[in-house]
Amino acid sequence: MALEIEAKIKVADFEGIRRRLEALSACFESAVVQVDTFYDGCEGGLRDAGCGLRVRRERAGSLRRSLLTYKGPRHEGPYKVREEIEFGVGDASLAGQLLERLGMSRVLVVEKQRQVARVERCQVCLDEVKGLGRFVEIEGPSVEAVSQVRSLLGLSEAPVIQQAYATLLSERGLGTPSD
């Protein structure tokens, strides 16, 4: 079972974080645009169980990639820790059609621009989420590794957001499905 371990922190801007990442000799990857379409059954069973099912479309320049991801319920702890099953799909539209044929409905779309950097054993994402603002996500192999990078970035005292972007958008009545 693969676990996602992440700390999500809202920030006013990315400049200070970028400077710290550069000082840490972080390896920056290409900026990517991600469009996540979330699915659930008509009764909202996945949402009620604290789970998520999404089809992600990624675009970085001329490169395109699509992923299907299941996220299990959160574990207790200071960070968001949950089971994650993710794999590539050849065609995001067909994956969405398949989920709909299986009784799922599109419930939410999250759009973001993401810049990814790697530092220590963690991935640091600088996310600009449509309708929500700017966030830093630190994902790593352990709570200790995430905490270490959080400290190196000067974010130890900043509050950690436990909710997913989809939940935050849903609570604001944003991120509605598009055709």
37 assigned to some structural domain: yes
Model pLDDT for residues 92-121, shown as the tens digit of each residue: 999 999 999 999 999 999 999 999 999 989
Model pLDDT for residues 130-140, shown as the tens digit of each residue: 999 999 999 99
CATH number for position 9? 2.40.320.10
pLDDT attached to residue 179: 42
51 assigned to some structural domain: yes
Total of domains in the chain:
1
Q: Is 150 helix (H, G, I), strand (E, B) or coil?
A: helix
Put simply, whether the predicted model's pTM sits higher than 0.95 gets the answer: no
Q: Is 93 helix (H, G, I), strand (E, B) or coil?
A: helix
pLDDT attached to residue 152: 96
177 assigned to some structural domain: no
120 assigned to some structural domain: yes
Model pLDDT for residues 12-49, shown as the tens digit of each residue: 999 999 999 999 999 999 899 999 999 999 888 999 99
The amino acid that residue 169 corresponds to is L
**Domain range for residue 91?**
3-171
